[in-house]
Homo-oligomer: A and B are copies of this chain.
Amino acid sequence: MSAAKPRYQELKDFIIAKISSGELQPADRVPSENELVESKRVSRMTANRALRELNDEGYVERVAGRGTFVSDYRSRSDLLEVQNIAEEIARRGNTHSSRVLRQSQQHARGEIAKALHVDQGTAIFHLLLVHFENNVPIQVEDRHVLASFAPDCLEQDFDVVTPSGYLTGIAPLQEAEQAVRAVMPNEAVRKYLEMDTGEACLVVIRRTWTKGRPVTFSRLHHPGSRYELTGHYTPPGSPRTPSSHVVQLEKLRQ
């Protein structure tokens, strides 16, 4: 019953599982190549490939002479980074809070049903909340979740955990698709975000997949004057930039 899986991949899965489960925390030491050679009965080249790829993929960081260590969570997954606004705010050293405006069950209508690949009328949960950074509103989250994916969604206290945090706790998301637009907000959104009239919104429309199925469809409105999306790109094959990976555009207030 061997899964016919390459041994280096088994090693990788073994380490990733320990990280995912929390058994290995960021900065914890990962078994060295030699330790894996002994415990897993593989050659050193195989252990090396496993750890090297985990390094390339950002799961761990390796230092010759010292060892292999679990990467800091934040620098690992751009996906999660982009996902959870509470973490994003915390990373800036600010305090996050939120207000739940709606938390109800609905039936999927046209656009939502289509986006989530389900039949019309399928049970879904609808969440509407405002996120604050240092008590300044910064995002209106309008989210639709497949009810079958998150059955206890209505019992959650989203003042404590963000929907994103709750959902990734159920199962890690595997894929995300998003579109970014600039639009004028409607009156309701404008008030929630305490925006001036004539101010634009940066809107992120996002779908996330778990186990190959779309489970969430959300529309995130941000005040154009207080929010921007930043990204840093290196072409494939570049060496990983260890620290200045987070270089930010300097203040460019036009």
Contact = CB atoms under 8 A, between A and B. Distances in A.
Interface of A: 12, 16, 45, 53-54, 56-59, 76-80, 82, 111, 114-115, 172-184, 198-203, 205, 207, 219, 222, 224, 227-238, 241, 247, 249-250, 252, 254
A180 B228 contact: yes
A203 B228 CA distance: 10
20 contacts: A54-B237, A57-B236, A77-B235, A79-B234, A175-B233, A175-B235, A177-B230, A177-B233, A178-B249, A180-B228, A181-B182, A181-B202, A181-B228, A181-B229, A182-B222, A183-B200, A184-B199, A184-B200, A184-B224, A200-B201
Contacts of A114: 250
Contacts of A54: 237
Contacts of A202: 180-182, 202
Contacts of A222: 182
A54 B176 CA distance: 24
Given A179-B250, A205-B249, 11 more contacts: A59-B236, A59-B237, A78-B236, A114-B250, A175-B232, A175-B235, A176-B233, A177-B231, A181-B228, A181-B252, A184-B199
Nearest to A77: B235
A220 to B, nearest CB: 12
B228 A179 contact: yes
Report the copy number of this chain in the oligomer.
Answer: 2
A254 B111 CA distance: 9
A175 to B, nearest CB: 5
B233 A115 contact: no
Nearest to A181: B228
Contact of A230 (B79, B178, B228, B249): B178
Nearest to A250: B114
A99 B198 CA distance: 29
B184 A252 contact: no
B207 A249 contact: yes
B205 A115 contact: no
Among A77, A181, A238, chain B packs the most CB atoms within 10 A around the CB of A181
Contact of A174 (B12, B173, B177, B238): B238
B182 A250 contact: no
A189 to B, nearest CB: 11
A238 B211 CA distance: 12
Contacts of A59: 236-237
